Structure 1
Amino acid sequence: MTQVFPVKILGIGTAEPRRIVTNDELEALCGLSEGWIWRKNGVRERRWIEEGETNSSLGAAASLQALDDAGLQWEDIDLIVNASGTSEQFIPDGAPLIQRELGLGTSGIPCMSIHTTCLSFLFAMQVCTGLLETGLYQRILVVTAEISSVGMNFQQPQSSTLFGDAATAVIFGQTPEGESSVIEAMRFETYGEGAPHTEVRGGGCRRHPNDERTTPEDNLFHMDGPAVLGMAAQYAGPFLERLRPGLTQGLGDVDIVVPHQASKVALQVLEHFHWPASQIMKTLETRGNCIAASIPLTLIESIRDGKLKRGQRCLAVGTGAGLSLGGVMFVY
């Protein structure tokens, strides 16, 4: 999609659990040698929830920050989108729970959820762009609240030590006349042959909790890292060229790249496209892979650190279970 859309980020917010989990703790838990996690995953620490912290509580805290940052009131928000790969419960979806946590349970503000695992935020950007373009909505709150720590399979240490918990909130609106904020390009592709490589097999009709054949392991996260990386490497180059010709040969006028913080190796792969390491934003070392929150968390940190300023161009890109690839290029 190459049409330019006048969409602007109006406000940003983050919320993270209080508990910091170090590699020492996890290496002892998993029986790993000292330094194994850093060498394999490129993570030194991550945040995991404590008792009382939930998707909706973290999402609501991030939302309050974003509302304050935008200088808006709740009556200015006309849609709440939960863009997350994990959920507090199966029904209802997470958006009404966030609305209620915010004290807006009688407000009538419409709510919906978008779940495409690690690409949920980017897919939400595309959906919200279309909704703003129609004029149906003026200001949309997108909340990404991820809790991975409760579903880790510690028999698979390379994946279980990779993930962290976090929440973000971003308010999108139409760009005022005379300002430069636009979304320039969006593209998503899915290759379902990769579905078995990243799974939580339980939780649905195929392996229902009441089915005697369902095992506890069916409710844990399973990932075949080499298979996922192999598929991503196979499709990434052609995908980037379809998103914007020339991206595999350098960044051109792109100021920064905000990639999904998938893993140490996945981030290194991006440099094969002649993208300078200094322009690739990273939070993996201190946050781990926060599923769909990774991209907005890294984006918000880049804005707060002054690495992305108004009028500068950003490429947000990543992969998700499926296997899906997604990218959005925009002027902040």
Structure 2
Amino acid sequence: MGDSQHFRIRGTGRYLPDTIVTADEIDARCGVEPGWTMEHVGVVQRRRCDSPDSLANMAVRAACRAVEDAGGDWSSIDLIIDASTCRRQPIPCNAAILQSDLGERARGIPCLDVQSTCLGFLVALDLANGWLAIGDRRRVLIVCAEVGLQGMDWSQPESAALIGDGAAAVVLERCSPTPTWLHQHETFGEYREACEVIGGGHRLPPFDYSVERDADYRFRMAGPRLFRIALKHLPPLVQRVLGRATCDMDRLVILPHQASPRGVEAVRRSLKWPKERYIDHVARFGNLAAASIPFVLDLERRAGRLPPGTPLLMLGTSAGYSQAATLIEL
């Protein structure tokens, strides 16, 4: 939305639940041979949201850390966007629940949700950039919190072994426009059945749940098929964005959605991008869905590896099948 970047990232925050789930534990849970997860998936460990943690309190913690990083002034936030894949409940929106949990400091701030599974953060960023461009907002808080492990189909270890739980948030502040901004987003709906949760909506309502149909209410992903789809469609999209970029390409850092170790590395190879300017932490945390990009953004930013002025290309894929690439200046 728009042809300029109308924001700077003023704050970031992340949160991980305490429970660590190792590859060996995933092997046992999925009923596969010891070592299967490391050999076929490559995620060493991921976190699981267990009580007293919850989807809601992870969102609160990430949001508070981002706002604190941005100066701690909640009165300056005039829009909250929740871009999570996971939901606390069907109604009201996650963002309204987050605002309620934040208490008086967030009271009255407009709230809305954006749902685009693993691309949620990039879609929210595009929408926020548009609102900031027309001057409707000054500071926007984007939050992504995910508890995907509880919805896994453990009979599908190739997808169940990828997922992790966690949350991240980012504060955007309106600024004078800069030309760095590029955003492209495409959807190929013919692949929609490659990644889905069938149950829980009008097609298969939650009140029709039965043990016999339990798998229909869990996350399903045709991993090898999606891998081939992404390698066919994503690199050309990224090359189109890079072809229009005016930033210093020798400084450009790429942050991909942390989908899987194999997928992240395959995209890097297809783009022929140097490892030192390509961010890959998926083996440490798993696939955090919409939270993965802002989570790693906070990790790298706080480590001093993404200083202000760095050109950053964020890219990824999602259920749909959708794909997007967003170029910003930090």
Aligned to 2:258: 261
Distance 1:129 1:267 in 2: 27
The answer as to whether partners of 1:257 and 1:280 remain within 8 angstroms in 2 is yes
Structure 2: segments with no counterpart, 5+ residues? none
Aligned to 1:103: 103
Structure 1 distance, partners of 2:327, 2:308, is 14
Match in the other structure for 1:43:
43
- Is 1:161 matched with 2:152? no
SS in 1 for 2:89: coil
- Count of aligned positions: 326
Q: TM-score, normalised by structure 2?
A: 0.94
Distance 1:33 1:238 in 2: 38
Tell me how far 1:318 sits from its aligned partner. 0.4
In 1: Cα distance, 2:72 partner to 2:209 partner? 51
| CA distance in structure 1 between the aligned counterparts of 2:73 and 2:50, rounded to whole angstroms | 30
Equivalents in 1 of 2:253, 2:321: separation in Å? Answer: 25
Q: What corresponds to 1:298 in structure 2?
A: 296
Which position in structure 1 is the counterpart of 2:323?
Answer: 325
Counterpart for residue 20 of structure 2:
20
- Structure 1 stretch displaced more, 230-239 or 91-100: 230-239
**Seq. identity, %:** 35
Whole-angstrom distance in 1 between the partners of 2:106 and 2:237: 43
Q: 2:201 aligns with which of 200, 204, 212?
A: 204
1:226-250 C-alpha deviation (Å, 9 max, x unpaired): 1111111111132123323289xxx
Instruction: Say yes or no: does 1:193 pair with 2:190.
Output: yes
Q: Which amino acid aligns with 2:52?
A: G
Q: CA deviation at 1:147?
A: 0.8
Name whichever of 205-214 and 231-240 sits farther off: 205-214
Asked if structure 1 preserves the Cα contact closer than 8 Å seen for 2:184 and 2:325, the reply is yes
Aligned to 1:5: 5
CA-CA distance at 1:277 after TM superposition: 1.6
Q: How far 1:70 sits from its partner (Å)?
A: 0.6
Query: Matched residues in 2 for 1:121 and 1:281: separation?
Result: 17
Equivalent-residue separation in structure 2 for 1:264 and 1:322 (angstroms): 21
Shift of 1:76: 0.8
- Counterpart-to-counterpart distance in 2, 1:278 and 1:224: 31
How high is the TM-score relative to the length of structure 1? 0.93
CA apart distance, 1:183 = 4.8
Equivalent residues of 1:8, 1:181 under 8 A apart: no
RMSD: 2.0
User: 1:24 and 1:115, CA in 2 relative to 1: closer, same or farther beyond 3 A?
Assistant: same
Please give the alpha-carbon distance, in whole angstroms, between the structure 2 residues aligned to 1:190 and 1:285.
Answer: 27
Q: Is the 8 A contact 1:202 1:218 kept in 2?
A: yes
- Is there any run of 5+ residues in structure 1 with no aligned partner, and where? none
Per the TM alignment, residue 106 of structure 1 is displaced from its structure 2 partner at its CA by: 7.5
Q: Which residue of 2 aligns with 1:81?
A: 81
Gap change, CA 1:212 and 1:59, over 3 Å in 2: closer
Once the two structures are superposed, residues 28-84 of structure 1 have per-residue CA deviations (whole angstroms, 9 ceiling, x without a partner) of: 222222322122222100000112322221011011111111113111110110011
Matched residue, 2:54 = 54
Question: Can you list the C-alpha shifts for 1:163-195, whole angstroms capped at 9, x where unaligned?
Answer: 0001011000112x6xx9765211100000110
SS of alignment partner, residue 181 of structure 2: strand
Asked if structure 1 preserves the Cα contact closer than 8 Å seen for 2:137 and 2:174, the reply is no
CA distance in 1, matches of 2:74, 2:105: 12
How far residue 105 of structure 1 moved from its aligned partner, in angstroms, is 8.4
Distance 2:124 2:46 in 1: 25
Instruction: Report the more deviating stretch, 1-10 or 15-24.
Output: 1-10
Shift of 1:279: 1.4
Q: Distance in 2 between matches of 1:57 and 1:314?
A: 29
- Please report how far the alpha carbon of residue 254 of structure 1 lies from its aligned counterpart in structure 2 after TM superposition: 4.5
CA contact (8 A) 2:132 2:138 kept: yes
AA in 2 matched with 1:228: L
C-alpha contact (below 8 Å) 1:254/1:315 kept by paired residues: no
Partners of 1:183 and 1:3 lie apart in 2 by 9
Look up the equivalent residue of 2:289 and give its one-letter code: I
